[in-house]
Structure 1
Amino acid sequence: MGTWDIGHFDNDTAADFSGTLDEAAPEEREGLVRSVLTAAAETAAEDYLDSYEAAQAVAAAALVAAQCPGGEPVTTAYGPDEPLPVFPADLRPLAVRALDRVVADESELAELWDESEESPDWRRAVKTLRAVLDPEPEPAAEARSEV
């Protein structure tokens, strides 16, 4: 896999996935994103997750996160050019599960990054993406009683 930076689309696989989305009919784009996320999320923990599937899952998760509150828009030239549909909320937990699988043991992409000096930055970027998809609940405001 050709990789030139730690960004979610800064590799050949993610850029190719963007091209696939652009070439797909508009009504097929959500299904493509869902399929990529499902493939990674449903890979058993004891099975090896191929870097190709993992890189696509990270890119797909970034597209879902871009539509979440606090999400960063995908502005890279390697992201999709064509408009994407509004993704349903059920893609968020699927994307979280996919990202958890990408950074877990038995993930080729995680292993490849762990062999590089940029591993902490890549892991931090994936963690930030995950936090947008599954934000920590805000503490409930304490009820104030008047005397």
Structure 2
Amino acid sequence: MSEAPAKITAMGTWDVGHFDNDTAADFSGRLDDAAEAERETVIRTALTSTIESDEYLDSYEACHAVASAALIAAQLPGGTPVTTAYGPKEPLPVFSDDLKALAAQALDRVVAPESELAELWDETEYGPQWRQSVADLKAVLLT
């Protein structure tokens, strides 16, 4: 991708990838710091807090949900492995099946009205590309 527009740079984002932002990279570090047995709980909490948010969804929460969904999808047929240096470095468990549906619901909330992350992306020329990447991720989760 060419040089990111100022708005993307302002949100600590350098590309449209699910881990191409400071918040997702920090979330990966949080997963790495968690005990191995607690990593699924960290993912589940990120997804449920996004789904249960009935107010304006902060971009911070939305980035956690997208990163969580990407990690779940990576374990599924058709999913893309998370190979970026900004993803978790420690091993992740095989996630429970119910997380697929939670991740899909969370992604719906991320792209819905009243979502800061969606609004920020929509203000850039890369908004359609970002929305497509989220839709592709959701498609893997629903297969």
TM over 0.5: yes
- The answer to whether residue 98 in structure 2 is matched with residue 120 in structure 1 is no
CA deviation after TM superposition for structure 1 residue 122, in Å: 0.2
CA deviation after TM superposition for structure 1 residue 74, in Å: 0.3
Counterpart residue number, 1:8:
18
Structure 1 or 2: larger helix share?
2
Runs (4+) of structure 1 moved beyond 4 Å?
A: none
Higher radius of gyration, 1 or 2: 1
Aligned pairs for 1:130-145 (under 5 A) are 130-135=138-143
Counterpart residue number, 2:27:
17
CA deviation after TM superposition for structure 1 residue 69, in Å: 1.1
Aligned pairs for 1:47-126 (under 5 A) are 47-126=55-134
State the distance in 1 between where 2:73 and 2:53 align. 21
CA deviation after TM superposition for structure 1 residue 116, in Å: 0.4
Counterpart AA for 1:66: A
CA deviation after TM superposition for structure 1 residue 99, in Å: 0.1
Which residue, 17, 27, 37 being the options, matches 1:27? 37
State the distance in 2 between where 1:70 and 1:89 align. 16
Counterpart residue number, 2:52:
42
Identity %: 69
Provide the secondary structure at the position in 2 that maps to 1:53.
helix
Consecutive unaligned residues of structure 1, counting only runs of 5 or more, are 136-147
Consecutive unaligned residues of structure 2, counting only runs of 5 or more, are 1-10
Counterpart AA for 1:125: S
